[in-house]
Amino acid sequence: DGSNSSQGVSQEEFLMRDEMYRARLQALRSEELSLMKERERLDLEKTRHIAELRRLRDEEASRFSATPVLGGRYVLQHLLGRGGFSEVYKAFDVVELREVACKIHQLNTAWNEAKKQNYVKHTVREYNIHRQLDHANVVRLYDVFEIDTNTFCTVMDFCEGGDLDAHLKENKMLCEREARSIIVQIFAGLSYLADPRRRVIHYDLKPGNIIFDRHGLAKITDFGLSKVMEQEDASMIDLTSQGAGTYWYLPPECFETGPRPPPISNKGDVWA
């Protein structure tokens, strides 16, 4: 009635409006959450689209885009990615009848002979370490061959599941079961590398160097900075490549300075 109007809303009307506003607020929050998820989806799609455009651009610019076969047996299908001095192609091995990844290393023609020899030395060392490894959680190296004076190719497992870095960025957070499964697989690979018969230190372990095959099996890759403890009684070796590696995943001892290089061991891979 009139008296209620002059004194404000009644308690019943206040409760009704309060409930209405709470419901509306809840609806707006749900809508905001939905829009945030949609924005994340679109940002991810945009990132993938940009990456694909870059891949297509790099493939078109590659001198191997018109090369149908490498080494007389590897049929190139399409470019997977490009790094500083290398390109990786998905290929098919017509001898073993399997899909492989061909990593084509190209020396910069502007380099002097000393720099070329240093690059080749490091790559040969990587090959000599990698070719002896055969484990389900380590990317397998099948072949290496020369293409021309400044170019050679290494042939490895083809893993189409992407890498752990991209997986983490896409999913933000992993459930405990999946995280535990990935960690167990990584440690299985590290345990194999650290075996007394091999004594390999990866030294560049990070999410970007953990890749998945089509079944979701995690594999350690990229042995470009790896080292071997050649003395059987040694538990550590001197770090001869200080400054290399990915800082966020290196153990504290790698940053020590002094008259001698700091000693490292397989524990650095566990730290990473």
Residue 207 burial class via C-beta count within 10 angstroms: exposed 0-12, middle 13-18, buried 19 and up: middle
Quickly count: other Cβ atoms within 10 Å of residue 272's Cβ.
20
Q: Is 54 helix (H, G, I), strand (E, B) or coil?
A: helix
Nearest to 130 by CA among 223, 225, 245, 228: 223
204 a catalytic residue? yes
How far apart are the C-alpha atoms of 151 and 113, rounded to whole Å? Answer: 14
Catalytic residue (one of 204, 213, 222, 238) = 204
Question: Of 159, 167, 251, whose CA–CA distance to 208 is shortest?
Answer: 167
Hunting for tokens 């409006």 — which residue is that? 17
Burial class (CB in 10 A: 0-12, 13-18, 19+), 100: buried
Instruction: Give the distance, in angstroms, between the CA of residue 246 and the centroid of all CA atoms in the same chain.
Output: 12
Phi/psi of residue 138, nearest 5 degrees: -130, 130
Residue 103 annotated as part of some ligand binding site? yes
Q: How long a stretch of residues is the chain? A: 272
Q: Which residues carry out catalysis?
A: 204
Positions at the binding site: 103
Residues annotated in a binding site for ATP = 103
